[in-house]
Amino acid sequence: MLDASWFTEQVPDAGSAFSLKIKQKLHTEQSPFQYLEIYETESFGNLMVIDGCTMVSTRDNFFYHEMMSHPVLFIHPDPKRVWIIGGGDCGTLREVLKHPSVEHAVQIDIDERVTRLAEIYFPELCESNNDPRAELKFIDGIKWVKDAQPNSVDIIIVDSTDPIGPAEGLFSEQFYRDCFNCLTPNGMVVQQSESALFHLKLIGEMRGAMSRAGLSHLQTLFFPQCLYPSGWWSATIASKAPLASFREQECADKAFSTVYYNSDIHKAALAQPEFFKQAMTAESV
């Protein structure tokens, strides 16, 4: 039994729950889009919760933000223009801007309040927000992609909440078609794709939709993420062109620091667990 000094996220479908011990509640608000909560935890630093789901903690966000950005950026041969759909806490933007090849990175999150709260409670994630290459837009990412010009972006990072509520449309075949249309010929999408232990069916459906939209070269990556259901998370890269092996030497020689990611971890994240391989082969995705 946990008393009121804990924040708990239940995962009803999985019959599991993860809790963090709280020192104090720092902020709550209902934005036009979501219910936002900020806590100071005992051991994980600050915690942001959106609609009851843990989103980001000071202590362990590095896994997610590094793995949503560096693998795809080191797989793409020359990433110059990057869009981040969602990602309002700015942690992915910070990682993207560590790559010197990137000339322009646009973060498109529908909810400005997420970013304003991140600036206060996760300032380290926002430290590159004033980089001249960075642009922050607070509009609907689905509409942004739909209205974009062809050939206008190299990498689209879909750093969204779960596929319910505002993020639902980000997991649809129509969205991936719109991505396909505005990507350059070597263009790639990478999207957070939940837990392979808890959401295998969702990953299969998502890969199917990506593939039907023409983003048919797929690679799902696996990494730990303590805060998220099952503690084990994934991201799926979907590419127009066949996925080349990554720019390993440039990764090994990178001039920026990371906490989890390195070139060995890059290759490790590509390994497909046996049950995952079998499930995806069965569905041919």
Q: Which residue among 109, 154, 159, 178 is the active-site one?
A: 159
222 binds a copy of itself (CB under 8 A): yes
164 binds a copy of itself (CB under 8 A): no
What does the alpha-carbon distance between residue 115 and residue 113 come to, in Å, rounded to a whole number?
A: 5
Sign of CA dihedral 88, 92, 95, 101: negative
Three-class SS state of 196: coil
Mode of pairing for the β-strands spanning 232-239 and 153-159: unpaired
259 binds a copy of itself (CB under 8 A): yes
Contact range with a copy of itself by CB under 8 A, out of 17-25, 154-162, 173-181, 205-213:
17-25
Contact positions with a copy of itself (CB under 8 A) in 93-152? none
Phi, psi of 2 (to 5 degrees): -115, 135
CA dist 64 → 49, 52, 183, 191 (Å): 15, 19, 24, 11
What does the alpha-carbon distance between residue 125 and residue 168 come to, in Å, rounded to a whole number?
A: 25
Binding mask 54-73 for a copy of itself (x = CB under 8 A): ------x-------------
6 binds a copy of itself (CB under 8 A): yes
The answer to whether residue 78 is catalytic is no
**CB of residue 19 vs a copy of itself: minimum separation in angstroms?**
4
252 binds a copy of itself (CB under 8 A): no
**CB of residue 58 vs a copy of itself: minimum separation in angstroms?**
12
Element (H, E) at 42: none
Q: What is the CA radius of gyration of the chain?
A: 18
**CB of residue 10 vs a copy of itself: minimum separation in angstroms?**
7
Please count the residues of this chain forming the interface with a copy of itself, following the rule CB under 8 A. Answer: 47
Q: Which is nearer to a copy of itself, 30 or 257 (CB)?
A: 257
Q: Which residue in the set 179, 269, 280, 285 belongs to the binding site for a copy of itself (CB under 8 A)?
A: 269
Give the residue carrying structure tokens 């070597």: 186
What does the alpha-carbon distance between residue 222 and residue 235 come to, in Å, rounded to a whole number?
A: 7
Binding mask 175-204 for a copy of itself (x = CB under 8 A): ----------------------x-------
Query: Which string of DSSP letters, residue by residue, matches 202-252?
Result: HHHHHHHHHHHTT--EEEEEEEE-TTSGGGEEEEEEEESSPPPPP-HHHHH
Phi, psi of 45 (to 5 degrees): 70, -145
Q: Which residue in the set 24, 43, 149, 249 belongs to the binding site for a copy of itself (CB under 8 A)?
A: 43
What does the alpha-carbon distance between residue 243 and residue 11 come to, in Å, rounded to a whole number?
A: 34
Contact range with a copy of itself by CB under 8 A, out of 106-114, 151-159, 181-189, 217-225:
217-225
Q: Which of 28, 24, 60, 54 has the alpha carbon at shortest distance from 41?
A: 24
Active site residues: 159
Residues engaged in binding a copy of itself (CB under 8 A): 1-4, 6, 8, 10, 13-21, 41-44, 60, 197, 222, 224-226, 230-232, 257-262, 264-265, 267-275, 277
